[in-house]
Amino acid sequence: MSVDLWATIKQEISGQLLEEPDMASFFSRRVLQHSSLASAISDILALKLASDDVPQSVLKQLFNELLRDNPAVVKAMENDLLATRQRDPAVRFYSTALLYFKGFQALQAWRIAHTLWLKNRKTMALYLQSQISQVFTVDIHPAAKIGSGILVDHATGIVIGETCILEDNISIMQGVTLGGTGKDSGDRHPKIKSGVLIGTSAIVIGNVTIGEGAKIAAGSVVLRDVEPHITVAGIPAVKVGKPPGEQPALDMDHDLNQEG
């Protein structure tokens, strides 16, 4: 983990504390008393996902142990935080995404559930999936595979199915569904290559591949493979142009870029 990133977050909070002294207890408990980003994330998620049946103390210990033993997961969390800060103009501080953005928090909670799934602790993983869905209104199956450097913007209503595979550096807007047809079994969900931008309320259905650097326009319904580095739009989605850059997920340009 980058010590500089965590030091930057603590510096941000120190400055905000001067502006909002009434939040001293909140800032202390959620950030300043922690020695690492992993510890802070464990604390925030345990607080939000706890229930009467599975209390915060149990979840916090579990999350801390998992992140301690899986540094690659912590690195992915850091990359997600960097991506959120770099791509979302509403985020002036790393600490903003960490403390307040449910898209970032839901994705990190999924990372913990996925780690449990891989360790064959599927019951706990499914419990966390249910809690994540209720708390964040984001439903990601713990068996899905997701890379790092992911921006989940606003997040409300996002659904990602069991056999989905998402590569690195992808940006997903609110209301997106990456789902199955409802009648197939086995490998039945989309595969999203790196650099893809998926617009608000877009739906991608079935075991289709969205090629590297493609862009899916808001409200589109994708039922077939999408070639790399093209823009698709409509119901059903068809090619309407090409993104101006190689990685629309990084540019966050939602224009259709139609060919004249």
Would you list the domain boundaries of the chain?
A: 1-138, 144-260
Please tell me the predicted confidence (pLDDT) of residue 1: 42
pTM, whole model, 2 decimals?
A: 0.94
Give domain 144-260's CATH architecture: 3 Solenoid (2.160)
pLDDT tens digits along 56-88: 999 999 999 999 999 999 999 999 999 999 999
Using alpha carbons only, how large is the chain's radius of gyration in Å?
19
Query: Strands (DSSP E) along 65-160, which ranges?
Result: 138-140, 145-146, 151-152, 158-160
Residue 45 to residue 106: CA distance in whole angstroms: 9
Confidence of residue 185 (pLDDT cuts 50, 70, 90): confident
pLDDT tens digits along 155-184: 999 999 999 999 999 999 999 999 998 767
Q: How many Cβ atoms sit within 10 Å of the Cβ of residue 127?
A: 19
1-138 maps to which CATH number? 1.10.3130.10
Mean pLDDT computed over every residue of the chain: 95
35: left (phi over 0), alpha (psi -120 to 50) or beta: alpha
Taking Cα atoms as reference points, which of 166, 66, 68 lies closest to residue 119? 66
pLDDT tens digits along 97-143: 999 999 999 999 999 999 999 999 999 999 999 999 999 999 999 99
Residue 78 to residue 139: CA distance in whole angstroms: 22
